[in-house]
Amino acid sequence: MDKIAPENIRTLALVGHGSSGKTSLAEAILFDAGAIARMGKTDDGTAHTDYDPDEIHRKISINAVPITAMWQGTELNVVDCPGYVDFLPEVLTVLQDMDAAVLVANALHSNEAQAGKVWNYCQQLELPLACFISKMDKENADFEKAVADLKADLEGNFIPVAVPIGSAASFKGYVDLLTMKAHTFSDDTGKSKEGAIDSSLENLVHKHREALVEAAAAADDALTEKYLEGEELSEEEILRGIRVGVLQRKLVPVVPGSGIRNIGVQMMMDVIAKFLPSPADRTLEVPLSGKEEKVFIKADSGEEVCARVFKVLTEAHVGELFIVRMYAGTLSPSTIVSNTTRETKEKIGPIMRLKGKERVDAPFLTAGQIGALLKVKGLHWSDSISTDKRPARFADRRKPDTYLSVALRPQTAQDTERLSTALSKLRAEDPFIHAENNEVTHEFVVSGTGELHVDTFVRRLKDRYNVNCEVAKPKIPYRETVRGKAEGQGKHKKQSGGHGQYGDCWLRIEPLPTGTGFEFEDAIVGGKIPNRFIPAIEKGVRESMMRGILAGFPVVDFRCTVYEGSYHAVDSSEMAFKTAASKGFKKVAREAKPVLTEPVMTIEVVVPEANMGDIMGDLNSRRGRILGMEPDGKRQIIKAQVPLGELYKYIISLRSMTGGRGEFTMNLSHYEDVPAHVQEAIIKEHGGAVAEDEE
């Protein structure tokens, strides 16, 4: 197997809204390139890139999965990305390791919410794009409207390089505006009949041909001058102008088609090969591990190895597959490399090239390619791989915010035992899940980017690792404090034959400023309580304050002073004084005007202007306080403070109200007193007031 030159490689992602046709396009690419003998379908569970049981069950893409195919001497490394909003954070991380992207837009309604988000990702990363207008065979498909909507909504220069012949049931092919030939299809083999352009299409073809030539000319100064002087551009000049325009992100070539019917797919592959950048068109500047110095990484198989893991897949009979993007050098099995992210050495195991669920053993990976590494124990998501001679390390990726949290309650002791092992394996595959044991509520809380993300995670716990968990609303980490000053006695006296138990202490409780925590003060004089018993009194208070006095939540921001007491020379002990202090704290704290406090979050909600009224009304209904608003292009940013207890599943409501276009972030602002009527409900929900210990 010969190495392929980076100039003949294209490494890109298929992105777009969920169910826009990305997976069908990937299937057709594999088929037309001869990589598979038959096209699979998402609906019947046979798609090569949607093979995970969850994907088959839900009939949507959940994982970003690569395919590799050869087309007209060009190797296409294509990652089929999910489009559902919960999985867009993964799309962003995948795009960071791509050279370009193809935006797949639905001909029925191209301006879908997630299309705009992935477009913005590509703009942030300065990635060139092409566009495939899919589902031209569906009822109400409208190519002209789709292109116009994309131009208006995304503010991009979308320029068709082909126009459709017919639409919906009459869709049968396209006119190639580069060759000015019509291509008609009679089946889904991808084979077309080339012919003359029908007279009914002449005006449409002429309009788009002129726009294409003008866009090509505008991308290059020499072509612009020639065009303005009225000279006709040659086919070679038009192709050069389009490629320059694409690389400079001045235009987006558009192809109409249907992945399922395999129409327009080969034209799309031609566009990818002719116009999108190769790895050789990019030079990266990457820091050296542990140094401020940076090095330029050039796509060359003879350079020092530089690669990054951008995806981890776990499969029952294979184990972990580390999906890597090669930036430079050549990686072969048994090669010893540096994991510069973790400062370890790794021995490369078997290497595979991927066609979704089908894999082929490979003798090496070279600059620009995507492949899978197996049996490399020390690798993780986002790790950098290099050599000691040039220990390049990519910047750490920021994990996305989580929007939805649930409490996991294992059903049996065996489920509890299996949970930690299952979590470590699943989190290696899905780094966007956050899991923790909450120290305040003593619940195991899992957080994700949305309802489907969390549901998928819980389903995998059960299906893969036989961990059965009840999913519940997480408890809010309320706190308790006091607003008044009180004092009183805590006494423990018990005689049971032989040595008895005797402890007697007087405690004073008073509030402290928010955030101070807890202070304990020893004000005993004259030896009324020996010094050796004072630590036991403090311990009794500390243990009791963690169990709360209203609803079982920790008591904070107060000072407790022991100022009086008595002891018995024989019956007093540390345990007796600890018990006395516990009783005294509960008694006195109830007289010090105890209140429940709740976490209040500062949130920023980004929504289309049209949804402003609904969103603000909803925030007010959640006891929110609007702090202000500011414009963000065509959107508005609403800043508010809302109690955490009112934000459970807020992301679901927000996406529902905004058609999936709303986003929000939140951070803890402060704790404040819970309103009286809400406090009563919370105390009732948590089992009522904490009962006093029996004297």
Q: How far apart are CA 600 and CA 670, in angstroms?
A: 5
At 169, phi and psi to the nearest 5?
Answer: -65, -25
pLDDT at 495: 79
Domain presence at residue 129: yes
- Using DSSP bridges, classify how beta strands 294-298 and 162-165 pair: parallel, antiparallel or unpaired: unpaired
- Using DSSP bridges, classify how beta strands 100-106 and 129-134 pair: parallel, antiparallel or unpaired: parallel
For the chain, the helix, strand and coil percentages under 3-state DSSP, each to the nearest 5: 30, 35, 35
Domain presence at residue 221: no
pLDDT at 150: 96
The CATH number covering residue 461 comes to 3.30.70.870
Look at 420 and 184; give whichever has higher pLDDT. Answer: 184
Residues 517 and 643 in one domain: no
Report CA-CA distances (Å) from 412 to 396, 456, 468, 470: 38, 21, 8, 10
Vertex 25, ends 21 and 28: CA angle to 5°? Answer: 140
Choosing from 386, 419, 448, the residue where a domain stops is: 386
Domain presence at residue 213: no
Residues 616 and 547 in one domain: no
Residues 325 and 432 in one domain: no
The CATH number covering residue 267 comes to 3.40.50.300
Domain range enclosing 534: 479-592
Strands (DSSP E) contained in 135-288 are: 158-160, 162-165, 173-176, 181-185, 192-195, 252-256, 283-287
CB atoms within 10 A of CB 293: 7
Structure tokens that stand for 187 in this block? 């089946």
Q: How far apart are CA 132 and CA 320, in angstroms?
A: 33
**Burial readout 134-153 (b: 16 or more C-beta within 10 A, e: otherwise):** bbbbbeebbbeebbebbeee
Element (H, E) at 265: helix 265-275
pLDDT at 70: 97
pLDDT at 315: 83
Residue 689 pLDDT > 80, yes or no?
A: no
Residue 74 pLDDT > 90, yes or no?
A: yes
Domain presence at residue 340: yes
Domain presence at residue 119: yes
For the residues of 431-497, what is the DSSP string, one character each? TT-EEEE-TTT--EEEEESSHHHHHHHHHHHHHHH---EEEEPPPP--EEEESS-EEEEEEEEE--S
Residues 429 and 443 in one domain: yes
Q: Quick one: average pLDDT of 131-150?
A: 97
pLDDT in tens, 560-591: 999 999 999 999 999 999 999 999 999 999 99
Domain presence at residue 619: yes
Domain presence at residue 3: no
* 293: CB partners within 8 A, 6+ apart: 287
Residues 587 and 636 in one domain: no
Q: Is the dihedral of CA 331, 333, 336, 338 positive or negative?
A: positive
At 106, phi and psi to the nearest 5?
Answer: -80, 125
The CATH number covering residue 303 comes to 2.40.30.10
pTM: 0.90
pLDDT at 319: 86
Residues 555 and 673 in one domain: no
Q: Is 85 in contact with 432 (CB distance < 8 Å)? A: no
**Domains held by the chain: number:** 5
The CATH number covering residue 676 comes to 3.30.70.240
pLDDT at 111: 78
DSSP one-letter code for 525: -
pLDDT at 291: 84
Alpha helices in 21-142 (DSSP H): 22-32, 53-58, 88-95, 113-124
Q: Quick one: average pLDDT of 399-404?
A: 89
Residues 338 and 437 in one domain: no
Residues 500 and 573 in one domain: yes
Write down the mean pLDDT value for the chain. 94
Residue 373 pLDDT > 80, yes or no?
A: yes
Which of 360-369, 396-405, 448-457, 465-474 has the weakest average pLDDT? 396-405
Choosing from 592, 627, 652, the residue where a domain stops is: 592
Residue 688 pLDDT > 90, yes or no?
A: no
Q: Quick one: average pLDDT of 519-545?
A: 96
Which of 346, 322, 398, 495 is CA-nearest to residue 92?
398
Domain presence at residue 315: yes
Element (H, E) at 577: helix 574-589
Residue 37 pLDDT > 50, yes or no?
A: yes
Q: How far apart are CA 390 and CA 165, in angstroms?
A: 53
Q: How far apart are CA 237 and CA 213, in angstroms?
A: 9
Residues 38 and 114 in one domain: yes
DSSP SS3 for 649: coil
Q: Quick one: average pLDDT of 607-620?
A: 96
pLDDT at 497: 66
Report CA-CA distances (Å) from 29 to 352, 544, 655: 19, 66, 33
Q: Which residues pair with 594 in a beta bridge?
A: 482
Greatest CA separation for the chain: 115
- Using DSSP bridges, classify how beta strands 74-80 and 486-494 pair: parallel, antiparallel or unpaired: unpaired
Residues 508 and 465 in one domain: no
Element (H, E) at 210: helix 202-218
Residue 534 pLDDT > 70, yes or no?
A: yes
Query: Above pLDDT 90, what percent of the chain?
Result: 91
pLDDT in tens, 190-244: 999 999 999 999 999 999 999 999 999 999 999 999 999 999 999 999 999 999 9
Residue 695 pLDDT > 90, yes or no?
A: no
DSSP SS3 for 570: coil
Q: Is 500 in contact with 610 (CB distance < 8 Å)? A: no
Choosing from 570, 592, 614, the residue where a domain stops is: 592
Structure tokens that stand for 137 in this block? 């065979």
Structure tokens that stand for 391 in this block? 């220990």
Residues 484 and 427 in one domain: no
pLDDT in tens, 166-192: 999 999 999 999 999 999 999 999 999
pLDDT at 687: 60
Element (H, E) at 244: helix 235-247
Confidence of residue 398 (pLDDT cuts 50, 70, 90): confident
Q: How far apart are CA 394 and CA 391, in angstroms?
A: 10
Residues 35 and 184 in one domain: yes
pLDDT at 439: 83
Confidence of residue 442 (pLDDT cuts 50, 70, 90): confident
Which of 261-265, 290-294, 328-332 has the weakest average pLDDT? 290-294
pLDDT at 664: 95
Q: Quick one: average pLDDT of 285-314?
A: 93
The CATH number covering residue 484 comes to 3.30.230.10
